[in-house]
Amino acid sequence: MIGYIYSLILFFHLIVPVKLSIRNDIIQNGNKLSNDERILKFPITLGYVTPWNNKGYDIAKLAAKKFTHIVPVWFQIVPSSSSVCTIEGTHDIDRSWINEIKNNSPNTKILPRFLLDKWNKNLWISVLQDDNLQRECGKILRNFVLRNDFDGVVLEVYLQSLMILQDYAITETIALIEMWSSMIREKELEVIIPLPPAYHFDQKNSKPGDIKLAFSNIYNSEQFKMIANTVDYVNIMTYDFHGEGMMSPKFWIEKNINYITDNLESDVKEKILLGINYYGSIYNENGVTPILWRDFDKYMVDENSYSDIKWNEISLENYITARNKREIIYFPTKDSLSTRFKYVEENNLGGVAIWELGQGYNYFTELL
């Protein structure tokens, strides 16, 4: 795999040193947090936070004014022996943290993520084929949200439904989303649906200097429109290219957004939230390993072992390379993030959805 990466780099002459000010800026200012008013011009800035990364909780709380939506990754929608479904993960609810966010930024909305989990194929088919079962589970979800005074839900069920069934039961899954979304939104709560990108890296047909993308058949443009029309926002999860040597290349982002926005009405286009990764990846002979800011710190400051920060002119991302071994490390920077924020603004998308706040540098908040 790593041989492919190096061939690709050499083919495009991508090893372009970037001014040392990027490294120095990270070293000197990376831990500084901005809690000023939001400056991004598009409507939505959403940030995910996870229980396994407490730093994200602090950023969401202290820089709450930077975010329109905070999404704690707390809950699972699971099967129940006494009813159709139940909600797990309630032990993660942090009331004092929510109150601090609301005190710092009263208009910031809290929409926990609900993940479809622990369903087997037969159980889930029975739900998809029975409107009454769907409605009962939808009521359980809606009442839970109302009881806990949340502002809505991030409903991660689409890809999970297809994976449970190991089949493209797209029509049935969209119908379930439409029902649940209608039930939740009629209570003046918001619904956001995460979706994977329609196009992915085509490893089989790609070669150095000729990167191919393949259509996934997970949904088509009309099916996307059906989903978007029934919810408030759709988070396109353009986090992992899964290609060799790039995290979230700009050309891949553009391909996916162009596909779903072609001939799309402006009011639907404004529902799209572009997925932004705050984490990076190491590519070496052992494969691909995700890293956080503190990991990148360790490599970046080791100038004897690693190169200056470079700019990939194809993916529009920053990276460093090991001097004495085959290893490339990608990590978001202000430059790569600004490029993507500008793209969202210029294309009149709804905003961005960041995965996740605790994985990046504090000073990324200066851009928000």
- Which pLDDT belongs to residue 13? 39
Query: Residue 126 pLDDT > 90, yes or no?
Result: yes
How many CB atoms neighbour CB 196 within 10 A?
19
Number of H helices, E strands in the chain: 13, 17
Residue 80 confidence class, pLDDT cut points 50, 70, 90: very high
Residues 6+ apart with CB under 8 A from 245: 4, 5, 8, 9, 283, 328, 330
Across residues 233-261, what is the average pLDDT?
92
Q: Residues 255, 248: contact at Cβ < 8 Å?
A: no
Residue corresponding to tokens 């910031």: 108
Residue 49 pairs with which residues in a beta bridge?
Answer: 72
CA of residue 64 relative to chain centroid, distance = 19
Closest to 268 measured CA to CA, from 221, 307, 312:
221
Residues 6+ apart with CB under 8 A from 233: 44, 46, 190, 192, 193, 271, 272, 273, 350, 351
Q: Residues 317, 248: contact at Cβ < 8 Å?
A: yes
- Which pLDDT belongs to residue 11? 45
Closest to 5 measured CA to CA, from 299, 282, 336:
282
How many CB atoms neighbour CB 284 within 10 A?
16
Mean pLDDT of the chain: 93
Which CATH architecture fits 42-280+335-367? Answer: Alpha-Beta Barrel (3.20)
Across residues 93-102, what is the average pLDDT?
99
pLDDT digits (tens, 9 = 90+) for 266-305: 888 999 999 999 999 999 888 899 999 999 999 999 999 9
* DSSP H or E segment with residue 87: strand 85-88
Residue 235 pairs with which residues in a beta bridge?
Answer: 194, 273
pLDDT digits (tens, 9 = 90+) for 207-244: 877 889 999 999 999 999 999 999 999 999 999 897 76
Helix/strand/coil for 131: helix
How far, CA to CA in Å, does 321 sit from each of 15, 43, 279, 337?
A: 9, 37, 17, 20
Residues 6+ apart with CB under 8 A from 52: none
- Tell me which of 327 and 13 has the higher pLDDT: 327
Q: Max alpha carbon distance in the chain (Å)?
A: 64
Distance CA 252, CA 313 (A): 13
Across residues 337-349, what is the average pLDDT?
98
Distance CA 368, CA 360 (A): 13
Query: Residue 19 pLDDT > 70, yes or no?
Result: no
**pLDDT above 70 coverage of the chain, percent:** 94
- Angle, in degrees to the nearest 10, between helices 121-128 and 158-165: 120
How far, CA to CA in Å, does 169 sit from each of 120, 176, 195, 218, 219?
A: 15, 11, 15, 10, 10
User: How is residue 41 annotated by DSSP?
Assistant: S
Residue 16 confidence class, pLDDT cut points 50, 70, 90: low
